[in-house]
Amino acid sequence: MGVAVAGDDSSSFGSVLVFFVLGLALSIALSVLNAVGMRGALDATEGRDFDLSNALSRIDVPQVIVLSLILSLIGNLGSLFPGFLGGILSLVGLVLTFLTYFAMTFLVDRGISAIDSLKASVDLIRGNLGNSILLALLACVVILIGACLCLLGLFVAYPVVTIATAYAYKKFQNQPVAA
């Protein structure tokens, strides 16, 4: 039976560790769900019906987890360092997050590694910068509106953004899209 003593950080470290592990598990679970959603959106742009078991079997879950961890690190660069450096790294993280917008789409569509999907996303965004900025801004607006509608709006906003992302991904590469 432990008694908390002033200056004893073991109990607070344990709490931080638990929240870190839970947050990491939630992030990975959401990334797998995002990959399944993207597989469904890609199937829709190809004129196929969505089938959950088929979608799950066509996703490389270990690579999704690796990509999830990399994207989480990129997105949280600023929080790793305090002060001015943290602010600069937050901006760098924001730019890198934008450049890796299509990483999950590449991973799910082509079955490539997490690292290759990051590279492919950067190349696709660089080749379609203006349209990519517009897509990202509109996606943010749709998600924010969905979140403002008592979170229930996200059940509409998320699929709309995911299908728009899959559509843009195909169009940016001059691939056919089902009508």
- The pLDDT value recorded for residue 10 is 61
97: amino acid identity, one letter = T
**Helix then strand then coil, % of the chain, to nearest 5:** 80, 0, 20
Q: With pLDDT > 90 as the criterion, what percentage of the chain qualifies? A: 63
Q: Grade residue 159 by pLDDT with cuts at 50, 70 and 90.
A: very high
Tell me the per-residue pLDDT of 1-12, one tens digit each, with 9 for 90 and over.
Answer: 555 555 555 667
Residue 34 has pLDDT above 80, yes or no: yes
Say if CB 178 and CB 166 are below 8 A apart: no
Residue 170 has pLDDT above 60, yes or no: yes
Tell me the per-residue pLDDT of 73-131, one tens digit each, with 9 for 90 and over.
Answer: 888 877 777 788 888 888 999 999 999 999 999 999 999 999 999 999 999 999 999 99
Residue 64 has pLDDT above 80, yes or no: yes
The residue extents of the domains of the chain are: 12-127
pTM of the full predicted structure? 0.86
DSSP string, 89-148: HHHHHHHHHHHTTTHHHHHHHH---HHHHHHHHHHHHHHTHHHHHHHHHHHHHHHHHHHH
Q: Grade residue 43 by pLDDT with cuts at 50, 70 and 90.
A: very high
